[in-house]
Amino acid sequence: MSSYNLSGLRSINTLNDRLILGGSNGLYEISDEKVTRIESLKDFKKPVIDIATINDRALLVSTSGYGVYQTDLNTIELLEGSEFLKSNHACMVDNQLYLPTNKGIYNYEFVNDKFQLNRVWNNSNGLPTNKINGIEKIDHQLLVATNQGIIHYPIDYSSSQSLLDLYVDKAFYADNNLKTNKVTSYYKNSDLQIVVNSIDYRDNNKVQYEFRLLPTQASWTVANSANLNFSDLNPGNYTLELRNENLVKRFDFHLEPRWYQSWWFFLIALLVALTIIILVTKTLTKRSEEKKNRDLSQAQKLSELQLKALRSQMNPHFVFNSLTAIQYYINENDFETSDRYLVKFSRLIREFFELSKEQHITIKREIELLKNYLDLESLRFNNKLDYKIEVDPTLDLKDIIPSMLLQPIVENAVNHGIFNKPIAGLVIVKFVKLNSEHIQIHIIDDGVGLKFNNDDMRYKSSSVLDDRLKYLKASGLWEIVIHRGPAFNDSNYPGHEVIFDLKKLSNENI
């Protein structure tokens, strides 16, 4: 008699004259007086607790918690649905296999050398417990061994099977349990996680249902998993509806908006925005009105200065002297000269009136005005006055300058510089271009020089000019600087020079 050593031996059976042993880590056989692992099944290392005969070609191998297998000692295959089952003492009658397991009785049918799962009996359809220790079939019933005793269980027994309830088992939002508190604060980028469960006594009690989350989802969605996940939910009231056949369940919850998402915050923000808009509008309107008033006042002041400049150009002395000269030529029967003088005088007066309405004048027109005036004065001075107008050839005569600016200075040069000189005098007007927006105008005479006091008409004319320059500068269109001084280094006839430095700042409103 021989002895063999195999640790954890639990079951023995034979197949085709081979002695098969079931151990704690797989299947073995006795060959050549030795216990060896079956070579073709060397990767099968599950704890075997029972080996049963299926037929003369196959064995049924039961494990402790790793399922039930069918093998022909060349290959081994797990039975459908037996994963993680612990089984022992299988019962096979007329191609029907009855497995006692820790999860009830599993019934298989042996067809074409394969086992097909037929049905499962457990505590949901008549058994008092799921832990089954052994089974024997007698006629049309099973004798079932349990820890609570032996049960006679009819094979054709049919229990009342139905889905009793479908419910939300767990609900979490941003780590808050919605099952205990259905009102929670909204958190940006947080997910809603739902676990659905059921009370189901049907044979196949796998959870399968339809759901929709109102008001974000209007249509039903089929779910095969107990877990639901919802992202990017906005603050508000929600209802999760679950449906299976005629059973419909609801789960209500509310995501409370944060303080900056509440209606009163939006109302306050709207009121603040409206207040700011009103204040800004009122401020801009006030500034606009103030600017209008300033522009109006400036325009009125400028008009007054233009009238003063017009009066200075048409001072009584000039008009009286011109008319006296015309009368003189008429008395001397020099009708040709008097006629020429009268034509120039009337043309000059018309020009003065027209320019009183204009803010600006072209350089060409200003030169023509000065020529008319100096021609008229030359006739009155009886060739004692000579003049020259020099224009920079690069200067565009269509460029504009402020009107009624130069003539009063030229008149001062004639009446207070040349008039008091006993010999013939010369007046020079020079236009010099510095750049496209900057020119200089020189008014030079070689007379006795310019000295006057506050009561002198020349001082009043100069004061009107200074005021006019001040308001032209305030308009933002021109930067005008005026320089005055002797023209020559001559003690008897130092003459006088006035330089206008004109820089155009903007073309707006010109």
Q: CATH number of the domain that 500 lies in?
A: 3.30.565.10
Strands 76-78 and 360-362: unpaired
Low-confidence ranges of the chain (pLDDT < 50): 307, 310-311, 313-314, 452-460
Q: Is residue 253 part of a domain?
A: yes
pLDDT for position 173: 87
Same-domain status, 117 and 84: yes
Are residue 167 and residue 279 in the same domain, yes or no?
no
266 shares its domain with 281: yes
Inside any domain, residue 509: no
Residue 148 resides in a domain:
yes
Q: What's residue 453's pLDDT?
A: 45
Domain boundary among 292, 309, 334: 292
Judge if 133 and 72 occupy the same domain.
Answer: yes
358-417 pLDDT, tens digit per residue, is 778 899 999 988 898 888 888 777 778 899 999 999 999 999 988 878 888 888 888 888
Inside any domain, residue 1 = no
Q: Which domain holds residue 173?
A: 163-260
Q: Are residues 480 and 440 in the same domain?
A: yes
pLDDT of residue 380: 77
**What residues pair up with 105 in beta bridges, in sequence order?**
100, 121
Residues 192 and 82 in one domain: no
3-class SS of residue 170: strand
Global pTM value: 0.41
| Type of residue numbered 13 | N
5 in a structural domain: no
Classify residue 95: in a domain, yes or no: yes
SS3 content of the chain, % helix, strand, coil (to 5): 30, 40, 35
Predicted pLDDT of residue 72: 93
Same-domain check for residues 288 and 311: no
CA distances to 121, 178, 245, 304 from 68, in Å: 17, 42, 35, 117
Q: Are residues 148 and 229 in the same domain?
A: no
Please, which residues have CB within 8 angstroms of residue 421's CB and are 6 or more apart in sequence? 446, 447, 448, 493
The full DSSP string for 41-56 is GTT----EEEEEEEET
End-to-end CA distance of the chain: 132
pLDDT at residue number 179:
76
Number of domains in the chain: 4
Q: What is the pLDDT of residue 500?
A: 93
* Residue-level pLDDT at 200: 67
Q: Kindly state whether residues 179 and 103 are assigned to the same domain.
A: no
Which DSSP category does 87 fall into?
B
